[in-house]
Amino acid sequence: MRAIALDKPSGKPTLRTDVPEPAIQAPDELRIRVLEVGICGTDRAIVRGEGGVPPSGSDYLVLGHEMLGQVVETGSEASSDYKAGDLVVCTVRRPCRLPECPTCAHGESDLCYTGKYSERGIVGAHGYMTSRIVESTDFAVKLPPELRPYGVLIEPTTVVEKAILESVLIQNRLDWVRNLTDDQEANRDWRFVKRALVAGAGPIGIMAAFVLLLHGVETHVSDIRPRDGYKGRLVESIGATYWNVMETPVEDIPSSTGSIDLIVEATGVAPVAWQLLSALGVNGVLVFTGVPGDRGGELELEGGHLMRQMVLWNQVVLGSVNANRSYFLQAVKDLSEMGRRWPQQLASVITAHVPIENYETALTSQPADEVKAVFDIPEN
């Protein structure tokens, strides 16, 4: 089988032709034909030499963690829920399975305590940029057929589903939010988030805007590109307001919009991310989703001012990584609704379908107006 892989000895991406055909080994497994795989900043970082660990015993790592596939064969225990032809998306992270890790045991490997998890296409497990894979139903979710055009966006959507739902849960600390809600749905109450700012109009940021708008939140998106460019027009066509921070610095945005309750950081640039605190309102939450390199993000902050602001305004800053299966289920639900409301715009998030032969260019460069480029994976 062919696969786009990182060759560990040379550190270069390659199109391999010798990847073994996978076979079902356990009754709960699915054999899946991969249809599309999204190209993401993480893949490009791996190709630049930042991270990327092959499974033990392998000298290459099949890349890709944002997949859409179709079931071709089911294990005996999987056959009641899945059948050949079903669309599926698989999650990324696999649990550490260590006894001292209660979160992994609970299906929340995104919150793994030991750090000894693996991630398909990133660390310790092969990814999805290949024709066929085998996966346990524990790590797969089924998609309705109408999500075929955008199903590859599920994984990036799960990142913001988690980040935003965690922020909503945190706001449950506010007594007035608790008092407004009368049942166990309290931690899913969105009323506190009246106004949100998403920083960065890449795939994560744009999917965050879709999720927020779906919940009726007044949504603003900031980026460094002009407002009449591709991303600006896309963002405004779904009902969010676009801010070019080259014209309006982020700290000036609230003076036009009013207090901002939630900021979703989706830039991956540390100095930009911390700067967002200057736009955060009273009782606000700032959630980081970007993963910058370990070095090169040095910045100077007026620490006294920021600490004073955070304390006096009861602000929360949190980081949020990856997502477990529950967020994939939520993303399937939300993407279905987005597809009904904004079919054209949702399709416009995918800006390029790339043949796998063009792997080198696609993994080493990024066109200015790209939102999400995906590899079309051939059957052979």
Binding site for Zn ion (CB under 5 A): 40, 42, 96, 101, 104, 112, 114
Smallest gap from Cβ 41 to Zn ion, in A, equals 7
**258 DSSP assignment:** -
Smallest gap from Cβ 153 to Zn ion, in A, equals 11
Residue with smaller CB distance to Zn ion, 152 or 165: 152
Residue 16 CA to residue 37 CA, distance in Å, equals 16
The amino acid at residue 364 is T
CB 22 within 8 A of CB 90: no
Smallest gap from Cβ 87 to Zn ion, in A, equals 19
Residue with smaller CB distance to Zn ion, 112 or 177: 112
Residue with smaller CB distance to Zn ion, 88 or 277: 88
CB 178 within 8 A of CB 186: yes
Residue with smaller CB distance to Zn ion, 52 or 284: 52
Smallest gap from Cβ 104 to Zn ion, in A, equals 3
Judged by DSSP in three states, 307 sits in helix
Residue with smaller CB distance to Zn ion, 43 or 223: 43
**Which residues neighbour 282 within 8 Å (Cβ) at sequence distance 6 or greater?**
259, 313, 314, 315
Smallest gap from Cβ 43 to Zn ion, in A, equals 7
**229 DSSP assignment:** S
Smallest gap from Cβ 127 to Zn ion, in A, equals 10
Residue with smaller CB distance to Zn ion, 114 or 248: 114
Smallest gap from Cβ 96 to Zn ion, in A, equals 3
Residue 67 CA to residue 32 CA, distance in Å, equals 11
Residue with smaller CB distance to Zn ion, 181 or 366: 366
Smallest gap from Cβ 99 to Zn ion, in A, equals 10
Report how far apart the first and last C-alpha atoms of the chain are (Å, whole number): 6
The sign of the dihedral angle between the CA atoms of 242, 248, 250, 256 is negative
> What phi, psi does 30 have (nearest 5°)?
-120, 140
> 310 is written with which tokens?
């955070």
Q: How many helices (H) and strands (E) does the chain have?
A: 12, 19
Residue 63 CA to residue 130 CA, distance in Å, equals 9
Smallest gap from Cβ 113 to Zn ion, in A, equals 6
Residue 222 CA to residue 66 CA, distance in Å, equals 25
Residue with smaller CB distance to Zn ion, 114 or 259: 114
Name the helix (H) or strand (E) containing 346: helix 343-348
Residue with smaller CB distance to Zn ion, 31 or 162: 162
Smallest gap from Cβ 40 to Zn ion, in A, equals 3
**Which residues neighbour 177 within 8 Å (Cβ) at sequence distance 6 or greater?**
171, 186, 189, 191, 192
CA 12 to the chain's CA centroid: 25
Residue with smaller CB distance to Zn ion, 21 or 138: 138
Residue 330 CA to residue 135 CA, distance in Å, equals 20
CA triple 115-121-123, angle to 5 deg = 25
Residue 360 CA to residue 78 CA, distance in Å, equals 37
